[in-house]
Amino acid sequence: MEAQRLLSGFCSPSPIPNARTQYFVRFPSPSPSPSSSSSSSAASFAQSHRWVSFKARPLSTKLIQCRNTADTERAEVVVSSDKQDLTSGIRRKKLAVFVSGGGSNFRSIHEACLNGLILGDVVVFVASKQGCGGADYAREKGLPIMVFPKTKLEPDGISPADLVATLRGLEVDFVLLAGYLKLIPVELIQAYPRSILNIHPSLLPAFGGKGHYGMKVHKAVIASGARYTGPTIHFVDEHYDTGRILAQRVVPVLAKDTAEELAARVLREEHSLYVEVITAVCEERIVWREDGVPIIRSKENPNEYG
């Protein structure tokens, strides 16, 4: 399967590893050598990606062998099962982030996961094109990258069926759209009901729908004479920007605002609001009213909702 090929790793015995197991590799420090030659085993191992085996059992410590063209090195692998918040008993969630552009919201989400603000981990990055800035960041952080959808311009993209199969193989809990401009296929929406979120740079339902994205939204807001705007986070359905609204934040439109100035202020609120909402989602604090409207339960006071 094309999706499996894209996610295959150097040391994985199967194209898609068991997502329930996390691997922490602790390599030995190179021993002092009288020779400074770069052909030493420690140096060649550190520089080589030609690994041939990777075996471990959950909740155990094993020694594995990683072999390159010339030498063999040994590394200790500590393996643990899914992380869990010991105070709340809530399992860490696995997140897939979809991006089309620079990915500033994606970076904010990923950093919040690493810093412990979000009880979750980004386990895969999905780009609508290989050259987007968000993909560069994902590569730097060692995250698996997929391209979706497959088009004439992106022949390495995958199909909706492969996309769903891969996300399920990675046991993804939530899909987060962070500046992703393609329409989400029905197959993915059906596979992840009430589990796909999007962020839009206006107060929906105003200035939403097909063709309303990025700077186009802010120019339209200023041209309309609207006094307020701001980001909206909503669940995703089969159409552009019509899913149930989960959270919004108001940003005043100033009299002499340019689209660029307004966009910068809205983006700052996007970064903080998306992290807050994902935190609530991963902590299982989303409550659906009888009329189908989602609301967020306060962490400090479970009887209050935002």
Structure confidence at residue 21 (pLDDT): 39
Query: pLDDT class for 279, splitting at 50, 70, 90?
Result: very high
**pLDDT above 80 (res 284):** yes
Asked whether the beta carbons of 80 and 92 are under 8 A apart, the reply is: no
Q: Mean pLDDT score of the chain, rounded to an integer?
A: 80
Structure confidence at residue 86 (pLDDT): 56
User: Two tokens at 90?
Assistant: 């809530």
Mean pLDDT of 174-186: 96
How many angstroms separate the CA atoms of 59 and 69, rounded? 31
**Number of other CB atoms surrounding residue 104 within 10 Å:** 18
Q: How many CA atoms lie within 13 A of 243 on its CB side?
A: 24
User: Two tokens at 108?
Assistant: 């904010």
How many angstroms separate the CA atoms of 169 and 16, rounded? 7
How many angstroms separate the CA atoms of 296 and 266, rounded? 21
DSSP string, 126-164: EESSTT-HHHHHHHHTT--EEE-S--SS-TT---HHHHH
Mean pLDDT of 56-79: 35
Mean pLDDT of 265-282: 98
124-175 pLDDT, tens per residue?
Answer: 999 999 889 899 999 999 999 999 999 999 999 999 999 999 999 999 999 9
Percent of the chain past pLDDT 70, that is, above it, reads: 71
Asked whether the beta carbons of 248 and 233 are under 8 A apart, the reply is: yes
Mean pLDDT of 211-229: 97
DSSP string, 265-279: HHHHHHHHHHHHHHH
Handedness of CA 86, 87, 90, 92 (dihedral sign): negative
21-39 pLDDT, tens per residue?
Answer: 333 333 344 444 444 444 4
How many angstroms separate the CA atoms of 270 and 103, rounded? 12
Q: How far apart are the first and last CA of the chain?
A: 43
Structure confidence at residue 306 (pLDDT): 81
Nearest to 105 by CA among 174, 175, 178, 177: 178
The amino acid at 39: S
Class at the top of the CATH hierarchy for domain 93-296: alpha beta
Exposed e or buried b for every residue in 14-40, given b needs 16+ CB within 10 A? Answer: eebbeeeebeeeeeeeeeeeeeeeeeb
Cβ neighbourhood burial of 56 (10 Å; 0-12, 13-18, 19+): buried
Structure confidence at residue 74 (pLDDT): 40
Asked whether the beta carbons of 126 and 170 are under 8 A apart, the reply is: no
Asked whether the beta carbons of 43 and 31 are under 8 A apart, the reply is: no
90-135 pLDDT, tens per residue?
Answer: 999 999 999 999 999 999 999 999 999 999 999 999 999 988 989 9
Percent of the chain past pLDDT 90, that is, above it, reads: 68
285-298 pLDDT, tens per residue?
Answer: 999 999 999 999 99
Mean pLDDT of 3-26: 39
pLDDT higher at 31 or 213:
213
Asked whether the beta carbons of 129 and 154 are under 8 A apart, the reply is: yes
Structure confidence at residue 161 (pLDDT): 96
Mean pLDDT of 181-188: 96
Active site residues: 200
